[in-house]
Amino acid sequence: MTKLHQLYRLGQSPWLNYMRRAFIVSGELRESIDQGILGITANAAVFEDAIRTDTDYDKDIYDQLVAGTPTTRIHERLMADDVQRAADLLHPIFEESDGLDGVASLEIDPALADDDVGTVATARRLLTLVDRGNAMVEIPATAAGSEAVRALTMDGININATHIFSVSVFERIAQAYITGLETYFRTHSVWRTTPTSVASFSLSPLDHAVDEQLEALGRPELQGRTAIASARLLYARYWDLFSGPRWKALAARGARPLRPKWTRLRPQDDQRPATMYIDALIGPDTVITFAPATLDLFLEEGRVARTLDRQSDAAEGHLARIAGLGIDLEAIAEDLQREHLEAADKQYQALIAGVIQKLVAEAPQH
């Protein structure tokens, strides 16, 4: 039994943030599943690097051009194929968990983050292309993203709400998800499975941003604690939202809660323990997403014990002290979401450009 299996025994589902063709077809994803990985998410940076440096996708890129696929859409076909392959490997877990885990998550163009109509249309189109019941689509948790989450949940689509840096944004997404489920059950007399969705809360960027302000205020003793405190407060709010009468009525019909998913787990301060976020946020009804390097560190150095709901009073006290110093966590969260979406958009456009560059380089050889 690995530490990942131990996490699962405590109610936490370990997923992997790493999807590329060679990793899937080589058997490495199968090995990760055997280790205890229960889901996988795509990463445009990983995908772009694979296209730029490897030959895994060369033939498919050219074949898509010959088939008449627009050059700015070829990357979607390649990503969809990878998600299909990963979803098929994970499908036994999807079945065994009654649709809770065993999912493969697909990223859509971050440029749509403030366009709910475009987001919904693109998500539906890509998931039709993937055609797997255990596929999941990533939706940035902007104001428009909240509306997209509601609309897509009404269709029974699995959602990974991303770029969450505050409890209030999680709550907004959760309310949209619950409203979408209410409509889903009201309008669907027959359904295959109800959605399994998650909300991705980012840790290390939040601490980094807050710690800069704490340094300027001369309060270094408070550094490195805000992200964990916020995650614990978010978890408490999760239980509030998904335990009352409104939720119980949905749960009686088979609804699944919007589980918090912890992501960006590597501290930006090298002086801090590499597994500090993982070790502090282990608890039931959550998902944790590992990058490969972070997973290796956790398997070597991580400690498995239920910690997430053990110090809620201390978490509230820390956040109160932060607020008392005049640090506006909501403003920081808004800035972080905007900055990370801008970076994601640049990375996604680099992915599209990488496909076109590879196409130009390879076309004369075919």
Residue boundaries of the structural domains of the chain: 3-365
Please tell me the pTM assigned to this model.
0.95
| Close Cβ partners of 263 (under 8 Å, ≥ 6 residues apart) | 17, 162, 200, 201, 202, 203, 289
| pLDDT tens figures, 128-169 | 999 999 999 999 999 999 999 999 999 999 999 999 999 999
Of 3.30.1330.10, 3.20.20.70, 3.40.50.300, 3.20.20.80, which CATH number belongs to 3-365? Answer: 3.20.20.70
Q: According to the model, what pLDDT value does residue 17 have?
A: 96
Could you give the CA distance from residue 17 to residue 47 in angstroms, rounded to a whole number? 11
Could you give the CA distance from residue 297 to residue 266 in angstroms, rounded to a whole number? 10
Could you give the CA distance from residue 347 to residue 9 in angstroms, rounded to a whole number? 36
Q: According to the model, what pLDDT value does residue 332 have?
A: 98
Could you give the CA distance from residue 63 to residue 75 in angstroms, rounded to a whole number? 12
Q: Which residues of 68-95 are buried (b: 16+ CB within 10 A; e: fewer)?
A: ebeeeebbbbbbbbbbbbbbebbbebbe
- DSSP structural state of residue 198: E
Residue with tokens 């400690």: 303
Residue with tokens 């589902």: 13
Q: According to the model, what pLDDT value does residue 160 have?
A: 98
- Nearest CA-CA partner of 280 in 269, 267, 296, 293: 267
Q: According to the model, what pLDDT value does residue 197 have?
A: 98
The residue ranges of the chain whose pLDDT is under 50 are 364, 366
Q: According to the model, what pLDDT value does residue 189 have?
A: 67
Cβ(232)–Cβ(162) below 8 Å: no
Cβ(175)–Cβ(197) below 8 Å: no
